[in-house]
Amino acid sequence: MLEVTGLRVAYGGIQAVRSITFHVGEGETVALIGANGAGKTSTLKAVARVLDAAGGDVHFRGEKISAIAPHDVIRKGMALVPEGRGVFPRLTVRENLRMGAFIRDDAVDIDKDLKTIYGYFPRLLERESQLAGTLSGGEQQMLAIGRALMSRPQMLLLDEPSMGLAPIMVQKIFEVIRAVAADGMTVLLVEQNAKLALESSQRAYVMESGEITLNGDSAALLDDPKVRAAYLGE
């Protein structure tokens, strides 16, 4: 579904991502793990066209998307849940979700999908007329994921969904991510919490200083002594 070849990202003269190649198959959940500053978020942003790559190609569902306008990415079926959640603080919860469906015009189905999202996250229904800026961090993360799903994407890109959240919230959010993935959604997950990411994915890539240094089945990586030493704190 997603083919990334030789992707490079640079900020000024500094190479954040040095020619990485990876792929995500249809229906797969793939994790991208690594330490802070390894280039995970830059990779995700370049894939979703939030920032311009310095080189390389991104193909999504057979189509090259590395040069399309940023606002057209979601129309191709790829939705990014940005790092730090990026909810619209002075829009209500409901309006935020409606913004997620901005590219759609099917009012009836949008209402149906709103109900589905409220089914995943009942907390959002309780707070649907509240301004998103008044939500807790965990609720904002729920909202950001729900908003991305409102576009009916083929693929979901998640950037650090556990960041800054209480463990109980992290559990709830990953339950939903797994449920969405089990329904057939293709997921690319960037996470610093390597254990959580490996437990929630089928395959994973390990990034270090802008390069992919390891990859394989998540279950195998969980048992890999190098991974255990570097990322699981053992």
Q: Which residues of this protein are in contact with other proteins, per CB under 8 A?
A: 48, 50, 69-75, 79-80, 82, 86-91, 95, 98-100, 102-103, 147, 151
Nearer to other proteins, 190 or 221 (CB): 190
- Contact 30/188 with Cβ under 8 angstroms? yes
Give the nearest distance from C-beta 63 to other proteins in angstroms.
Answer: 17
Give the nearest distance from C-beta 94 to other proteins in angstroms.
Answer: 11
Burial class (CB in 10 A: 0-12, 13-18, 19+), 215: middle
Closest by alpha carbon to 204, among 193, 188, 180, 228?
188
> 78-81 and 186-191 as β-strands: parallel, antiparallel, unpaired?
unpaired
Nearer to other proteins, 50 or 54 (CB): 50
Instruction: Give the integer Cα–Cα distance in Å for 139 and 220.
Output: 33
**Residue 110: both structure tokens together:** 């949008």
Nearer to other proteins, 27 or 86 (CB): 86
Nearer to other proteins, 69 or 108 (CB): 69
CA distances, 233 to each of 175, 196, 228 (Å): 24, 13, 6
Give the nearest distance from C-beta 88 to other proteins in angstroms.
Answer: 5
Give the nearest distance from C-beta 71 to other proteins in angstroms.
Answer: 5
